[in-house]
Amino acid sequence: MGIFDKLRGEFIDIIDWTDETQDTMVYRFQRHNNEIKMGAKLTVRESQVAVFVDEGRIADVYQPGMYTLETENMPILSTLKGWKYGFNSPFKAEVYFVNTKRFTDLKWGTMNPIMMRDQDFGMVRVRAFGTYNTRVKDAATFLKEIVGTNWEFTTDQISEQLRNFIVSSLAEALAETKVPVLDLYAKYSDMGGMLTAKIAPKFEENGLELLNLLIENVSVPPEVEQAIDTRSKIGAMGGVMNEYMQMQAGEAMVKGAENPGGMGGIGSQIAAGQIMGQMVQNMGQQQQQAPPQGSPPPMPATKTFHVAVNGQQQGPFDMAALTGLAASGQLTRESLVWAPGMATWVKAGEVADLSSVFGSVPPPMPGS
């Protein structure tokens, strides 16, 4: 190797970058302490922008194309370097390639639930997630505001900040639109467009462009989902709450009977009977309205009794609940009962009002 070849090896005469990744936004050209030779070739490919930085100051920005670096096409850098008369010696400058392609399928989501006021469920917590697309719109601003002196900058390094922009705007949008939780699922497209318009200025402040934002899912806590399912069941039954509560109490009694021991035994059956009787009675009282003119008066209230079980007072139970307990053997004629107006506890078999409860229950087997 001759001395001239050695000298030429100390200078960079070709500057370009090919992106082998899918997430690199900025790459600083590696000079390895070599100087850029005046007259070097700069290649800027499509979806790229080359930015020259001199001593921390942004100089010339090159759009896609091939350039021969001379003082004539480096006006800002020539001014910063003081090349007033076309000085053509090698020079040092940092060259950043900024990827201007569209970065797609970037994820966003709420780390913590967002509180919102709903007209159906009151205060409710919601979570949401989706995707968005972005790209670098102003390379110089992006370098100054976000990248700094990093030699390589990827989407992972800014995704957290962009996610915060989206989540904060989502909370504001939910508060402004006041869309009920049950209607959010049909508003994904509208909400996505609203968020895109709302967040775009924040992206532009950092040299980015938000191309579009998609909401893939908005979810509520399990207890709210259960309330929605319950409302659907009631609607499927014609909106009759009485029938729904009776169905729930009946299911509880069946489950208790399937597990006669432990917590699912006597206690579960008594609780189920109590729930059925009290809920039906309460719902009847809540739904009771003044009868229309010409209609018969409301039925008299059903008498209720307390039952002594294992030395403990349970109840009160109405006749429907007592009949169920008698059928399962938990209430017998020897069981002690009490009702308002009675002076003391007496055996159920001695109460005339309870004769119908035991009317369909066969007597004990002989010798039992």
Q: pLDDT of 135-155, one tens digit each? A: 999 999 999 989 887 889 999
Other residues' Cβ atoms within 10 Å of the Cβ of residue 343: 6
Q: Work out the number of other CB atoms within 10 angstroms of the CB of residue 287.
A: 10
Which residues, at least 6 apart from 179, have a Cβ–Cβ distance to it below 8 Å?
187, 191
pLDDT score for 321: 84
Which of 112-121, 153-162, 281-290 is predicted most confidently?
153-162
DSSP per-residue string spanning 59-74: EEEE-SEEEE--GGG-
Whether residue 257 is predicted with pLDDT greater than 80 in this model: the reply is no
Question: How high is the pLDDT of residue 366?
Answer: 65
- Phi/psi for 237 (5° steps) reads -95, 15
pLDDT tens column, 214-226: 999 888 888 777 7
Compare 288 and 117 and report the one with higher pLDDT.
117
All domains in the chain, ordered by first residue: 3-99 (no CATH), 103-223 (3.30.479.30), 238-284+302-358 (3.30.1490.40)
CA distances from 167 to 156, 178, 208, 282 (A): 17, 16, 17, 44
Beta bridge partners of 27: 97, 152
Using the predicted structure, report yes or no on whether residue 179 has a pLDDT greater than 50.
yes
d(CA 213, CA 189): 9
> Rounded to the nearest 5°, which phi and psi values hold at 331?
-125, 120
Which one of 78-92, 119-133, 197-211 scores highest in mean pLDDT?
A: 197-211
Q: 3-state DSSP call for residue 16?
A: coil
How far is the C-alpha of 43 from the C-alpha of 62, rounded, in Å? 9
- Beta partners for 309? 312
Token pair, residue 254, equals 């069946």
DSSP characters over 184-221: HTT-HHHHHHHHHHHHHHHHHTTTEEEEEEEEEEEE--
Q: Percent of the chain, pLDDT > 70?
A: 75
Q: What is the pLDDT of residue 46?
A: 93
Chain-centre distance for alpha carbon 44: 42
pLDDT exceeds cutoff 80 at 283? no
pLDDT tens digits for 5-59? 444 446 788 999 998 888 999 999 987 667 888 899 999 999 999 999 998 899 9
Residue 101 has what pLDDT? 94
CA angle 362, 262, 257 (to 5 degrees): 40
Query: Strand 24-28 relative to strand 94-99: parallel, antiparallel, unpaired?
Result: antiparallel
pTM: predicted TM-score of the whole model, two decimal places: 0.59
